[in-house]
Amino acid sequence: DQQVKQNSPSLSVQEGRISILNCDYTNSMFDYFLWYKKYPAEGPTFLISISSIKDKNEDGRFTVFLNKSAKHLSLHIVPSQPGDSAVYFCAASEQGGGADGLTFGKGTHLIIQP
Amino acid sequence: GAGVSQTPSNKVTEKGKYVELRCDPISGHTALYWYRQSLGQGPEFLIYFQGTGAADDSGLPNDRFFAVRPEGSVSTLKIQRTERGDSAVYLCASSSGPGEKLFFGSGTQLSVL
C-alpha cells in the first residue's frame, strides 16, 4: 500500500514555463516532507523540504506547498530550465523532522522542452 | 571525494550466490541508511544506523539481508542466497545526525541472473 503517491509518471513542460509536480500521502502521522531530484546513474539529491507546521517554503525557483487537510503537497519550479529535466521524488517522514526511514513516492519524470 | 561512495557500481551475480555491497559515508556523518530502488519505483527504506548500531532495521525484507557498520563509518550490506527479485539499485545515504539532510551515493546496480 503506497503511503506516498505521485500519480503522474511523467510531465513535459516548455522551458520558461512553470512546472508543477504533485504528491499525495495517506499517513496522517507524516510531519515532514521533502523533494529529491535524481539524474540517471546518480543518487537522489535533496531539493527542498517543508515541515507540517508550515504551508509554504520557498528556495529560489523552487516552492513547495503543503495542504495538510487534503494530504497533498506540490513542488513548483518557475521558470523551468533544461537542467531541471530529471526524476523528482516526493518523500515523507513521521519523525518530527527526522530523516529516519523516509517513505518515497514512485517519482515523476520531468522533461523540459526547449 | 567528499560525497557518499558506493562500490561496486555494478554487480552481476547468479541466483543463490552471496553478495556484499559497500558504502563509504561522508566523513563525520554518524547516520547511515540503506535503500533499495526497484525499476519504476521510488527508493524503499531498508535499514538505518546511528553510529555502529542498527537503530531501525524494519525495512529489511527477510533474513537473507543483513548489514553491518562495525566502526561507525563504512557499512556493508550483505545478501545471502540471492534471488532474481533482489535485482535493484541499492542506495546508501548518510547524514550528520537524525533529522538532518540525507546525502545519497550513486548506488550499486545489482543484477541477479
The pLDDT tens digits of the residues spanning B56-102 come to 898 999 999 999 999 999 999 999 999 999 999 999 999 887 777 88
- Which residues are A11's β-sheet partners? A110
- Mean pLDDT taken over chain A: 93
Angstrom distances, CA of residue B2 to CA of A30, A42, A94, B25, B70? 31, 15, 29, 9, 21
Contact A47, A58 (CB under 8 A): no
Backbone angles phi and psi of B106, in degrees to 5: -80, -10
Asked if B107 has any chain A CB less than 8 Å from its own CB, the reply is: yes
Query: A-B interface: how many C-beta pairs under 8 angstroms?
Result: 64
Average pLDDT over residues B49-61: 90
pLDDT of residue A97: 47
| Strands B108-112 and B10-13, bridge-based pairing | parallel
Asked if B102 has any chain A CB less than 8 Å from its own CB, the reply is: yes
Q: Which chain B residues are within 8 Å of A1, Cβ to Cβ?
A: none
CA distance A98 to B28: 18
Contact A94, A35 (CB under 8 A): no
Mutation choice for A interface testing from B44, B45, B94 by most A CBs within 10 A: B45
- Closest by CA to B93, choosing from A36, A53, A82, is A36
pLDDT of residue B36: 97
Residues of A with CB under 8 A from a CB of B: 4, 6, 36, 41-46, 49, 89, 91, 95-107
Chain A nearest-CA residue for B95: A99
